[in-house]
Amino acid sequence: MQMHSRFRSDRRLTTRMGITLFLLGLVYVGFVAALIVLLKSWVLVVLVAAAVLGAQYWFSDRVALFAMHGRVVEREEYPELHGVVDRVCAIADMPKPVVAVSDMDMPNAFATGRNADHAVVCVTTGLLRRLEPAELEGVLAHELSHVAHKDVAVITVASFLGVLAGLIVRFAFYSQLFGGGRRDQNTAVVFAAVMGVSAAVYALSFLLIRSLSRYRELAADRAAALLTGRPSALASALTKVSGDIARIPTKDLRTAQAFNAFYFTPALGREPGVARLFSTHPSLEQRLDQLGRISAELGEATAPGGV
Greater confidence, 26 or 176?
26
What mean pLDDT do residues 284-304 have? Answer: 81
**pLDDT score at 305:** 38
**pLDDT score at 121:** 93
* Range with lowest mean pLDDT among 16-20, 188-192, 295-299: 188-192
Enumerate residues 6+ apart whose C-beta is below 8 A from 192. none
Say if residue 149 carries a ligand binding annotation.
Answer: no
Stated pTM of the model = 0.79
Say if residue 118 carries a ligand binding annotation.
Answer: no
Say if residue 297 carries a ligand binding annotation.
Answer: no
What mean pLDDT do residues 4-21 have? Answer: 83
What mean pLDDT do residues 10-33 have? Answer: 83
Residue 304 has pLDDT above 60, yes or no: no
**pLDDT score at 266:** 81
Q: Is position 74 annotated as part of the catalytic site?
A: no
Greater confidence, 96 or 7?
96
Residue 77 has pLDDT above 90, yes or no: yes
Catalytically annotated residue among 76, 132, 135, 143: 143
